[in-house]
Structure 1
């Protein structure tokens, strides 16, 4: 396994607790966030995300493939609070550039802009470099954090960019799709018809979002539960894909479905509980497996005829109660933490990235076309103070005499 050295990450922002504020805003949808069960790590001291030890390996052909197609990847890991930008440098090596953003989750982007969901903020990064411009002698894109909208801890999952340029996101805690609000934490724009009210209860574990022609079209949910945390009892076969426009369930009987993606007239998704990448047969409302991937599959990005699939290891040694455990045993395989590049033609894994050490889970992935070697400005690096770029409507300055 080849390994790559990464630049030192910038530390994350402070997370100091603040006293609760009684706003009296019941009329606009304020709920008691304590309704849902506390997470398993509640009460434990937070880890120092700057001191995690992570080893990275990749397939020998990855650098050449990324460089040939002028592609990069954005990869998030909420468990380690990392976003990785993976590209290829001038020496033909894989470049890993990482930054720390607490609970980094959904990511979507392109050569100019990246959106990232975090613990209680939704971040917007802008590339400040012009075409053919580089920084530090090697990076062709430099993403600078330009906006962080405070939304609260919504357990934000996947993101999409609508035709009007607005971000839409999966608000998992409130079981709905939402947009940003200028005043409040979010603006709910859709919920499954089986969800009776907006409540901070993560009832069905709404998680994945597929955009079609600039509109939110399909979502995945672990089940159709309308009770607090009800999805945990339906992980084996309660999963569904829902058409946002019609409210119709277009695929059912899934196990922990994630990351639906529309590509070339077909709806691809990850049936994480069994370990399969596959697609939806709309006629039968069934999932058609395409290939097995060794791990909890979450995070999917498709370009051309390949898919990047995110893989995570189990949290407690085993994938308790999921068919994935048996599928791994059947193949005498160990679960991965990483990314596999899979052919949509035949299911072969053509390239891969693997993480070891203090990172065991991947959340989301996004291909960045026309990006060769990207970097990102951290929150506590000198560059965030010193890197100043501007645009101007002033007339051109007269040449010096």
Structure 2
């Protein structure tokens, strides 16, 4: 695929692999001053997003934030979408990276010559049990060297809003937005009952009857809580 002059190729099932594991990749290359994101779209195709910065290098990221070091600055990108990651596992570790544009003097250079191949810049997904590559991504043009790579779990199609385009003028965020919950207790002298209230983004604000939990979903203006009828109070 071609992304504004950046041509790359990938293994046939690489986008599906990203989708199944609900993750994206971010990498830097100070050779071309790029921060790039690799993800999968709803159409099942690979999605590439890039931003130009002054010598982007080290990365650290998780579901909520991405930190990037450049020539003179440290950037913090915040995830403005709510992510749900069911597992808390290390996806990949123990990676090494080659930051030199030449293979001179390395054993890899001899192996490539014996195979009639030439050095290529890209990323590979390695099965740690077998040591074999299962997916790959190659940069055919422009990028010859990568500096750092991070996995962004719980993020399917990552993008970074630029400072010079129209996107940042239309972006509105609400601090501490997302899902939240609290418990409330009703009672008299002898009986009490406890229920949970979940506040989320949506349209339904009417609770049901019975002992099940009710969700409060805010709309524009004032919202009223109608928690339904609690049919039974249990002694504490």
TM-score normalised by length of structure 2: 0.66
Quote the Cα distance in structure 2 between the aligned partners of 1:334 and 1:345. Answer: 27
Name stretches of at least 5 consecutive residues in structure 2 with no aligned partner: 85-89, 178-217, 224-236
Pairs within 5 Å for 1:1-400? 3=1, 5-6=2-3, 53-131=5-83, 268-270=94-96, 297-298=97-98, 315=101, 318-391=102-175, 399=222
Quote the Cα distance in structure 1 between the aligned partners of 2:83 and 2:13. Answer: 27
Name stretches of at least 5 consecutive residues in structure 1 with no aligned partner: 9-52, 133-262, 271-296, 299-311
Quote the Cα distance in structure 1 between the aligned partners of 2:176 and 2:145. Answer: 44
SS at structure 1 position matched to 2:146: coil
- Per the TM alignment, residue 388 of structure 1 is displaced from its structure 2 partner at its CA by 2.4
Quote the Cα distance in structure 2 between the aligned partners of 1:392 and 1:110. Answer: 17
Q: Decide which structure has greater strand share.
A: 1
TM-score normalised by length of structure 1: 0.40
Of structures 1 and 2, the one scoring higher in RCO (CA 8 A, sep 6+) is: 2
Quote the Cα distance in structure 2 between the aligned partners of 1:339 and 1:131. Answer: 25
SS at structure 1 position matched to 2:169: helix
SS at structure 1 position matched to 2:42: coil
Distance 1:332 1:121, change over 3 A: same
Quote the Cα distance in structure 1 between the aligned partners of 2:138 and 2:78. Answer: 28
Alignment length (residue pairs)? 177
Distance 1:392 1:366, change over 3 A: closer
The Cα RMSD (Å) is 2.8
Larger Cα-atom Rg: 2
- Per the TM alignment, residue 110 of structure 1 is displaced from its structure 2 partner at its CA by 1.3
- Per the TM alignment, residue 60 of structure 1 is displaced from its structure 2 partner at its CA by 0.6
